Amino acid sequence: MKTYYRTSWLAVAAGVLLLATACGGESVDDNNGGSGGTAGTGGSAGEAGTGGSAGVAGTGGSAGVAGTGGTGTGGTGGTGTGGTGGTGIDPGPAAHVDKLDLLFMIDNSASMADKQKLLAASIPDFVNRLASPHCIDANGAFVAKVGVSDACPDGSSREFPAVTDMHIGVVSSSLGGHGADSCSNTPTQNWNPRQEDMSHLLDRNQNGTVPTYESMGFLNWDPGAQATPPGEADPVALAQRFADIATGADQDGCGFESSLEAWYRFLVDPAPYERMIPVPCYDGDTSNQCRGPEGIDAVVLQQRADFLRPDSAVGIVMLTDENDCSVIDDRQYFLALQALDGTGSFHLAHSTNACKSDPYASDCKSCWEVNPADFPECAVGWPNPEKDDTLNLRCYRQKERFGIDFLYPVERYISALTETHLEDGTVNPLFCSEPSPDGTNCIQQMRDRSQIVLTGIVGVPWQDIANDPNDLGAGYKRATDVDWDMILGDPMANVEPTDPLMVEAVDPRSGANPVTGATLASPGSGVDNPINGAEVETPARNNLQYACIFKLADPLDCTLPQNMFGCECNQAPESPLCWNGASYGTMQHYGKAYPGRRHLAVLEGIDSQAVVASICAPNLTDPTAADYGYGPALNALVNRLGANLR
């Protein structure tokens, strides 16, 4: 198994991060979280890092100008490896259970409405299969679908006992701005509460709220009436409520999707914070230019206690069309999402030259961290800040571009799903709901690792991970059979995926998909590539190339007021999404996804606990077909959970 780690950002030197009260607003495009807010005043200070020495404290100064004076240091810390990580070893035979807790993390940023509707359309079959499992023969081959009370045909039996005790909950990808002005309730921000769902269980639909079990936020499948009071016994009603919540997530949440941290916060974080507030960067600092957590989110803890049973199998499903952007909730990492600096757009410093060839080299740093006399490239800023550091791409190739990794290491999430204890030695809440008084042991039996399954319906060509690259109806490969070098590469060794469609890039790429042999198409060539249509020219340099696209069942008219937000073809760009077969226009004909590299890194790290699927579905028109919608992904999840349910 690859080892993932983070080179820690220690400090920012000599007051460069001086921010004054922001004024004015700016609109941002589909993948970012808006603008506005304040970032504090006065000079910035060096911060205590998690590994190495710290920077120098500055004081005073005006917005965007380096402060003067001050020699305070920020302290030193550890290596910043981010935890022990998963072993990459198969956890062994699946432990048998008769309860199932399903948590869906649904991206609610712009451009997700089409995917949410497709998930909703796939839910009835998913619920029906759990409530009335398929009939299979002695070799495990499918024989028939029959009703809950019907007998299987002679020579066959149920693939597993019907699920009669199941909780279903939904959280969104929106955790606010992590202390930045973006996605925060500030005067200059186009904010709405759905940008800060904070891993609270969703119960909203398009018109109001959906009834949940005892108003606890989750759905309770209980056909045997074992709960007090009894839960839902009608599979049609259960599926409809689930589908309503899935589409109710909507697409007006935060564009900086914390899709990994969202489920971690709900299931694992022992002390989810209530809010991020300005805090001192060092002892004696009065400018409060760092950010830190305050309070405990009692809603998350109570909902977790109600939803998660100690003896259940746990299925986590991520539905997202962009890479993860789970910003570290500490010190000055929030600056990755900062939009304004008081006089205009805020920009991060660029990296030293070493980062371009090896982002993990010892001399790969932010220009904020070094002396320009030693790194001449840091004597000047970005050639074109508005294009070189667009807010929309702040989570893209951070170490290479900025010399800093602002995101939690993926080992945080691998460990959360594979390790019984957290880094501080206390028990992992996902494995133990009743810890000992000192928190280091579990009073009851811990959940077995095999009872936890993570499914990623993410940006990756389905052809790369399907049993048959010509027919997704044949299902997805097991995670242990996926060619990870093809779809992920080795991020920590700076090795790109062998499938060029999975390379994150602003500029058009070249090459061919190694599975189909399809050559990447040049910009302006319609939909010449069967997987991602074509590469796209991005003059504003504020968007990435697509990993895959998929044809919508019903084209979207981007000129209609109800469709303008989140629609991809408002200005009839030369994008394959807007190709009608003969020309580009304002009708959106295709949905899209970007490479989900961080999600895939976690899925690889948990080995057989993973289910890998594509958000680009090949069939949106024939619900009776085996490849319809997200049916193949949800069937792969049921196949994996079936090992626990048998």
What does each C-alpha distance from 296 to 276, 299, 300, 539 come to in angstroms?
A: 11, 9, 9, 44
What does each C-alpha distance from 30 to 91, 111, 391, 544 come to in angstroms?
A: 40, 7, 11, 12
Give tens-digit pLDDT for 570-598.
Answer: 988 999 999 999 999 999 999 999 999 99
Give me the pLDDT at residue 55, please.
Answer: 34
Sign of the four-CA dihedral 443, 445, 447, 448: positive
In a domain, 270, yes or no: yes
Q: Give CA–CA dist 106/171, Å, rounded.
A: 6
Average pLDDT over residues 73-97: 47
In a domain, 267, yes or no: yes
In a domain, 571, yes or no: no
Average pLDDT over residues 224-249: 98
Q: Give CA–CA dist 592/577, Å, rounded.
A: 7
Number of domains in the chain: 1
Strands 273-279 and 290-296 turn out to be: antiparallel
87 pLDDT more than 50: no
Cβ atoms of residues 190 and 27 within 8 Å? yes
Beta bridge partners of 157: 136
DSSP codes, 433-476: SSB-TTSSSBSSPPPPGGGEEEEEEESS-HHHHBSSTT-GGG-B
Give me the pLDDT at residue 92, please.
Answer: 58
Which string of b and e fits 517-539 if b means at least 16 CB within 10 Å?
ebebbeeeebbbbebbbbbbebe
Give tens-digit pLDDT for 39-84.
Answer: 333 333 333 333 333 333 333 333 333 333 333 333 333 333 333 3
Average pLDDT score, the chain:
88
Average pLDDT over residues 2-7: 47
In a domain, 157, yes or no: no
Sign of the four-CA dihedral 115, 121, 125, 127: positive
The secondary element (H helix, E strand) that includes residue 167 is strand 166-172
Give me the pLDDT at residue 646, please.
Answer: 81
Cβ atoms of residues 536 and 543 within 8 Å? yes
The secondary element (H helix, E strand) that includes residue 602 is helix 597-605
127 pLDDT more than 50: yes
In a domain, 436, yes or no: yes
In a domain, 159, yes or no: no
Give me the pLDDT at residue 239, please.
Answer: 98
Give tens-digit pLDDT for 147-162.
Answer: 999 999 999 999 999 9
Cβ atoms of residues 218 and 169 within 8 Å? yes
Give tens-digit pLDDT for 481-505.
Answer: 999 999 999 998 999 999 999 999 9
Give me the pLDDT at residue 90, please.
Answer: 52
Give me the pLDDT at residue 2, please.
Answer: 60
Looking at the chain, how many residues does it have? 646
Which domain covers residue 420, as residue numbers?
Answer: 100-128+164-325+410-468+477-494+598-632
Average pLDDT over residues 385-414: 97
In a domain, 216, yes or no: yes
In a domain, 358, yes or no: no
Give me the pLDDT at residue 476, please.
Answer: 98
Helix axes 113-131, 631-645, angle to 10 degrees: 40
Cβ atoms of residues 434 and 310 within 8 Å? yes
